[in-house]
């Protein structure tokens, strides 16, 4: 494949791919430390993404 076709193919793939913007994250963990809660709260405050536990 020549470089022009490769560049056009890559551009088409990027342009036609829908971005995923999650507003929440599901977290599965056996850890239950107070420090984790502080970390999750800071993450949510900084990104606006909520963490479901």
Q: pLDDT by residue (tens digit) across 21-47?
A: 778 999 999 988 889 999 999 999 999
> Residues 47-53: contacts with CB within 8 Å, 24+ apart?
48/23, 49/22, 49/23, 49/24, 49/25, 50/23, 50/24, 50/25, 51/24, 51/25, 51/27, 52/24, 52/25, 52/26, 52/27, 53/27, 53/29
Domain ranges for the chain? 20-53
Q: How confident is the model at residue 2 (pLDDT cuts 50, 70, 90)?
A: confident
At residue 28, the pLDDT reads 93
For the entire predicted model, the pTM comes to 0.57
pLDDT at 8 over 90: no
End-to-end CA distance of the chain: 47
């Amino acid at each position: 494949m020549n470089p022009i076709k490769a560049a056009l193919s890559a551009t088409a793939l990027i342009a036609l791919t829908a971005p995923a913007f999650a507003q929440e994250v599901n977290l599965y963990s056996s850890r239950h430390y107070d420090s984790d809660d502080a970390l999750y709260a800071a993450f949510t405050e900084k990104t606006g993404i909520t963490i479901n536990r």
